[in-house]
Amino acid sequence: MVRRLLTSGFALLVACGPPPPGPGAAHRAPVARVSGALCIDATDRLRNLLLTNLNLAPIRREPEFDSDADGLGDEREGELGTDAAKRDSDGDGCSDLVELRAGRDPLQAEQPACGAMDSDGDELRDDEEGLLGLDPAVLDTDGDDLPDGLEVVLGTDPARADADADMDGDGSRNRSEALAHQDATSAVNWGNGFRITLMDQGTMHRQQCFQFRFTGVWLLPGATNRLRVYLTFLRPAAEGPLARVACLNIPPATGPISVTVPADAWWAPSQAHLHCR
Ligand SMILES: [Ca+2]
Ligand SMILES: [Ca+2]
Ligand SMILES: [Ca+2]
Ligand SMILES: [Ca+2]
């Protein structure tokens, strides 16, 4: 089951070849290879493993960078007139993207405002989750393995389990597009999203251990990039969700780099807001 679930997600990604030639910023951007391992003291089966770069908008034709990590690419913010250097252009505490998703004006401070607390570590503040009708105490409100904050960025529905749907009808499920950091609302994908390889898994000292690698992770040039790795596990609903989040801040890079997730980067979601800075 685990193999099947993992393989169904990974096979497509591993099959991707090297990036095709193309124009624009992508060829000047550094790329990271991120390796890591996690041993967890639980018998629950691994269900999903994904990485997101908060400074990179979901990929369409080619990487578009998101300087303020609010889920709106810099070019998109230019079109909207919002500030590409501020996640909250009007200063009411609620991010530009959340305000757009909630039907508010990101350029007009409105009530209710949003405080800074993100209790579940999904990159949405508690008050932002309130605006969107999500559960501020649960990283993945609809239980489809895609964290709420990522779904808001991708354009999928964080309140309805739609990871196995194909929102843009391009033959790639929302889950696969999320794994590749591709835009789930656009059938135009450049075809060189993130690629995931599960290197090894097994049991050691009654713990489950996973070793993995992400390649093709585009980085915003000349800036610190904020990466998040999420693992979610199958378990009975009555026991509540089990997930782990790793928070990585990658210093400015000018060329391809390799990064290893340090052991102290891992947190349970309820603790993540204290440490993911
Ligand atoms: Ca932005
Ligand atoms: Ca705002
Ligand atoms: Ca949250
Ligand atoms: Ca979800």
Instruction: Compute the distance from residue 72 Cα to the ligand 1 centre, in Å.
Output: 4
The structure tokens listed for 93 are: 């505490």
The three-state (H, E, C) secondary structure of 159-183, written as one string: CCCCCCCCCCCCCCCHHHHHHHCEC
Look at the chain and report how many structural domains it folds into. Answer: 1
Within-domain flag for 196: yes
Instruction: Compute the distance from residue 113 Cα to the ligand 1 centre, in Å.
Output: 19
Within-domain flag for 136: yes
User: Tens digit of pLDDT for each residue in 237-270?
Assistant: 666 667 889 999 999 999 999 999 999 899 887 7
Section 175-190 average pLDDT: 87
Quote the domain boundaries for residue 199. 2-18+30-275
Examine the pLDDT at 141 and tell me if it is beyond 50: yes
Residues with CB under 5 A from ligand 3 (ion): 118, 120, 122, 124
Instruction: Compute the distance from residue 86 Cα to the ligand 2 centre, in Å.
Output: 9
Ligand nearest to the CA of 146: 4
Instruction: Please state the pTM of the whole predicted model.
Output: 0.86
Within-domain flag for 46: yes
Query: 247: Cβ–Cβ under 8 A, 6 or more apart, which residues?
Result: 226, 227, 228, 265, 267, 272, 275, 276, 277
- The answer to whether the bond into 112 is cis (omega within 30° of 0) is yes
User: Tens digit of pLDDT for each residue in 92-125?
Assistant: 999 999 999 999 999 999 999 999 999 888 999 9
Instruction: Compute the distance from residue 253 Cα to the ligand 4 centre, in Å.
Output: 31
